[in-house]
Amino acid sequence: MSAPIRVRFAPSPTGFLHVGGLRTALYNYLFAKHHGGAFVLRIEDTDQSRKVEGAIENLIQTLQWAGIDFDEGPGKDGSYGPYIQSERLNLYRSHAEQLIKAGKAYFCFCSPERLDEVRKKQQAMKLPPSYDRHCRDLPKEESDARVAKGEPHVVRMKVPIGGELTFTDRIRGKVTIAHKVLDDQVILKSDGFPTYHLAVVVDDHAMAITHVIRGEEWLPSTPKHILLYQYFGWDQPEFAHLPLLLNPDKSKLSKRQGDVAVEDYRTKGFLKEAIVNFIAFLGWNPGDEREIFSLEDLVKEFSLERVGKAGAVFNVEKLTWLNQQHIRLRPSTELARDVRNLVQQKGWQVPEDAYIIRAVDLMKERVTFVWDFVEFSGYLFVDPETFDPDARAKSWPDGAAERVKALTDRLEQLTSFTHASIEEALKKLAEELNVKAGQIVHPTRYALSGRSVGPGLYEMMEVLGKDTVIRRMKSALEKLD
Ligand code: GLU
């Protein structure tokens, strides 16, 4: 039997959670859950200079908000912790020593100034920057003695001089890299901290990770990681590198062209359901026309085979459309809870739940964001204070007042106040006055809501209720005259 599937999301706590990070986390989560495996959160904080206070908490909070629960990670110990790299430093040091003993790594004493000079020379000769392997063949006694004396040093891995390395990526297929393009990478820094390359390999092995699913920007590092697996004599995990995220103009998704923090979308009012659905499609698709997926649906359907190689365009219009779709799918009772809070925040009188649910049902198909319920149809909760001046000429033409007055009289007579009885009364009046129904509908809507657009008038009137409708029509007749 093959080993249980274990995957990880391994962010560096350098600030907010990027939408690309959320995609990596989501794909790992989906893959793990689809296969009944474990999803591990590991914090890669070995670059202490880039560490941002509060970033870990923020990251965990955002993942939880999105419903991407990890099985093991900070605060959720499995048997592979600790899950924060700065708490595992001894492990990396002992592994670096192991490689030195085996002749697979070496101490390097080159000063920053020397490395700078080497780089400048390479630049002048139009060569790619790389370490010139100055310390690679120092006699063992000499380098041991220099370390013992306390001379500053790093540890570098020894990359084979000739030959090439081939591996199979689950998304990109066969990848071959010549050893000569790989640098003798620093694996342990002078401060005793490992670099990403050593820490990631040691931890993925120690945490029994079976599949490394991460962004394409890490593809060039993978050959170095594979060499390290070989040097340690470990089985390597499978690799899957997710396609780049692009702006609509096909440039790499960056801060400059809009928001890239998941939080920004959250505060803009996007539902987590829409964000998760949207992010899932940045590189993956179900192979048919379906576009609306819940997290559970995604778990059922997700496979790496359906992740493409081509860059995925981050299209906010699509996200907006998905938000509409997910609002429609959300139970009205749940939406009503959010709307109730928004009404409260506005300082408006909070109606009873049944009323809010009716208002939600009325508008559900028409809103893009949850706050549209109060921003664009606040008249469902408070009498309009103003009447849209731009719509006045069209919505309140000559004769409107008389027609609205006549309708008010008719509605006052109604014993049952339903959309059907309202419609009947209005149409009958139109016939008697020999006008089109619209000539009463538009001014009435304007009187009731202060606006020229909205949901179906009869349904809206039924939701508002007879008292409110009559009160507003009378008050509008006074104000608009
Ligand atoms: N710490 C790396 C990052 O910040 C993780 C890359 C990987 O998944 O190997 O994205």
Q: What is the pLDDT of residues 245-271, one digit of tens each?
A: 998 888 888 766 568 899 999 999 999
pLDDT under 50 in the chain at which residues?
A: none
Contacts of 403 (CB under 8 A, 6+ apart): 429, 433, 435, 439, 440, 443
Task: Supply the pLDDT for residue 2.
Answer: 74
Task: Supply the pLDDT for residue 455.
Answer: 96
Task: Supply the pLDDT for residue 258.
Answer: 66
Give me the sheet containing 105-108, strands edge to edge. 105-108, 154-157, 186-188
One of 126, 174, 250, 255 is an active-site residue; which one?
Answer: 255
How far is the C-alpha of 266 from the C-alpha of 259, rounded, in Å? 11
Task: Supply the pLDDT for residue 48.
Answer: 82
Is the Cβ–Cβ distance between 18 and 262 less than 8 Å? yes
Q: Two tokens at 270?
A: 């996007």
Which domains does the chain show, CATH number per domain?
Answer: 6-86+244-316 (3.40.50.620), 88-242 (3.40.50.620), 331-378 (1.10.8.70), 389-480 (1.10.10.350)
Task: Supply the pLDDT for residue 248.
Answer: 85
Q: Which residue has the tokens 């048997």?
A: 79
Hey, which of 7, 193, 214, 225 would you mutate to test ligand 1's pocket, going by the most ligand atoms within 8 Å of its Cβ?
A: 214
**Ligand 1 centre from 12 Cα, in Å?**
7
Of 307, 313, 318, 216, the closest CA to residue 265 belongs to 318
For the segment 121-139, what is each residue's pLDDT rounded down to a tens digit? 999 999 989 999 999 999 9
How far is the C-alpha of 477 from the C-alpha of 448, rounded, in Å? 10
Task: Supply the pLDDT for residue 438.
Answer: 97
- Nearest ligand 1 atom to the CA of 214 is 8
Tell me if 218 CB under 6 Å of ligand 1: yes
Q: Is 255 a residue of the active site?
A: yes
Is the Cβ–Cβ distance between 20 and 1 less than 8 Å? no
